[in-house]
């Protein structure tokens, strides 16, 4: 599969690492894929062969993540949506529409971007994100305590590889490809230990923006086609109930997003890539006509 790497200047000139998969000679549209918090553009790797059969596909590391620059500011949605808009402008094909898909925090960025820049996208696809309010579930001190990133700096890389195999339990088969994707979140130091690309301070800056976002207001203002794919984890009735309540509020507010469900864990692009790719393709084809 052909991959072309380039740099795009995001908001304020921040350097963003971008990957373009050209796809077929006459792609129906460009898909721009945004990863989640403390992740990387590699989260989409398992979907790319399927998506590239019909679409031109663009992935990128958000600021603070992966190969992109890591400033100490600019992690609110005004800036991250401007970064996304810069990637769209730099990579879109003339005469071809753009569909944006996001996972987790990336779905929140996609939702916000569609409201702030409605002419830039033909539709948005939200993978297990962008439908619930963290601010309604927890106070900010609770968020900081419960969602703080683990301290992995100094962990030997082979120890980290073993940790991957137990983290998801039986829910995910940690293949060598999945190992490589997860390892892309870390910088391997000369002594064989790791440190996360996303700093702890920047992690909390993004969490604060997530905590402050009101997705229900955004859904009520949405004017482009949208679909949300929500993970339903067996044995987690509390989370399922929250998702059902959020879905009902979105519909009640006049939100236009179509809400769908898929049994699985939050990391659906790793666990069920074929299903996510198939549903995303179907949505994108419908959105671009």
Q: Would you say 121 and 99 are in contact if contact means Cβ atoms under 8 Å apart?
A: yes
| Per-residue confidence band for 246, with pLDDT thresholds at 50, 70 and 90 | confident
H helices of the chain, in order, are 48-51, 77-91, 105-116, 134-137, 140-146, 157-167, 176-183, 200-212, 215-221, 237-252, 268-271, 273-288
In 3D space, the residue among 40, 168, 30 whose CA is nearest the CA of residue 103 turns out to be 40
Single pTM value for the model: 0.96
**Per the domain annotation, does 175 fall within a domain?**
no
In 3D space, the residue among 76, 118, 100, 146 whose CA is nearest the CA of residue 218 turns out to be 118
pLDDT in tens, 20-50: 999 999 999 999 999 999 999 999 999 999 9
The distance from CA 146 to its chain's CA centroid, rounded to whole angstroms, is 21
Please give the tally of structural domains in the chain.
Answer: 1
The Cα–Cα gap between 88 and 160 comes to 34
Please report the pLDDT score of residue 88 as a whole number.
Answer: 96
Please report the pLDDT score of residue 239 as a whole number.
Answer: 78
- Kindly report the CATH number assigned to the domain that includes residue 36: 3.40.50.1820
**Per the domain annotation, does 147 fall within a domain?**
no
Please report the pLDDT score of residue 140 as a whole number.
Answer: 98
**Per the domain annotation, does 158 fall within a domain?**
no
pLDDT in tens, 110-121: 999 999 999 999
- Strand 98-103 vs strand 30-34: parallel, antiparallel, or unpaired? parallel
**Per the domain annotation, does 267 fall within a domain?**
yes
Residue with tokens 């402050």: 212
Average pLDDT of the chain, as a whole number: 95
Q: Would you say 259 and 230 are in contact if contact means Cβ atoms under 8 Å apart?
A: yes
**Per the domain annotation, does 280 fall within a domain?**
yes
Structure tokens at 147: 């969602």
Sheet architecture: strand order including 4-9? 4-9, 15-21, 56-60, 30-34, 98-103, 123-127, 226-232, 258-263
In 3D space, the residue among 196, 261, 269, 204 whose CA is nearest the CA of residue 234 turns out to be 261
pLDDT in tens, 52-87: 999 999 999 999 999 999 999 999 999 999 999 999
Q: Which range of residues forms the domain containing residue 60?
A: 4-137+213-288
**Per the domain annotation, does 20 fall within a domain?**
yes
Range with the largest mean pLDDT of 175-179, 241-245, 249-253:
175-179
Q: In Å, how far are 170, 172, 184 from 166, measured between CA atoms?
A: 8, 9, 18
**Per the domain annotation, does 51 fall within a domain?**
yes
**Per the domain annotation, does 201 fall within a domain?**
no
Ramachandran class of 169: left when φ > 0, alpha when ψ lies in -120 to 50, beta otherwise: left
pLDDT tops 90 at residue 93:
no
């Amino acid at each position: 599969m052909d991959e072309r790497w380039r740099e795009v200047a995001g908001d304020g000139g921040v350097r963003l690492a971008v990957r373009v998969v050209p796809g077929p000679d006459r792609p129906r549209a460009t898909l721009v894929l945004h990863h989640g918090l403390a992740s990387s553009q590699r989260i989409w790797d398992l979907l790319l062969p399927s998506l590239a059969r019909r679409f031109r596909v663009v992935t990128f590391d958000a600021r603070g993540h992966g190969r992109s620059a890591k400033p100490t500011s600019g992690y609110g949605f005004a800036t991250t949506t401007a970064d996304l808009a810069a990637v769209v402008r730099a990579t879109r094909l003339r005469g071809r529409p753009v569909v944006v898909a996001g996972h987790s925090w990336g779905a929140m960025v996609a939702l916000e971007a569609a409201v702030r820049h409605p002419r830039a996208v033909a539709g948005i696809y939200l993978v297990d994100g962008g439908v619930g309010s963290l601010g309604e579930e927890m106070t900010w001190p609770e968020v900081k305590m419960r969602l703080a990133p683990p301290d992995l700096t100094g962990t030997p890389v082979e120890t980290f590889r073993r940790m991957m195999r137990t983290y998801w339990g039986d829910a995910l088969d940690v293949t060598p490809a999945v190992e490589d994707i997860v390892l892309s979140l870390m910088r391997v130091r000369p002594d064989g230990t790791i440190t996360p690309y996303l700093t702890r301070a920047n992690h909390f800056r993004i969490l604060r923006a997530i905590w402050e976002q009101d997705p229900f207001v955004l859904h009520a203002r949405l004017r482009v086609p949208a679909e949300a794919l929500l993970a339903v984890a067996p044995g987690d009735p509390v989370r399922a109930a929250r998702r059902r309540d959020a879905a009902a509020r979105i519909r009640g507010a006049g939100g236009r997003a179509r809400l769908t469900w898929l049994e699985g864990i939050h990391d659906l692009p790793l666990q069920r890539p074929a299903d996510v790719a198939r549903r995303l393709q179907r949505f994108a084809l419908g959105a671009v006509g």
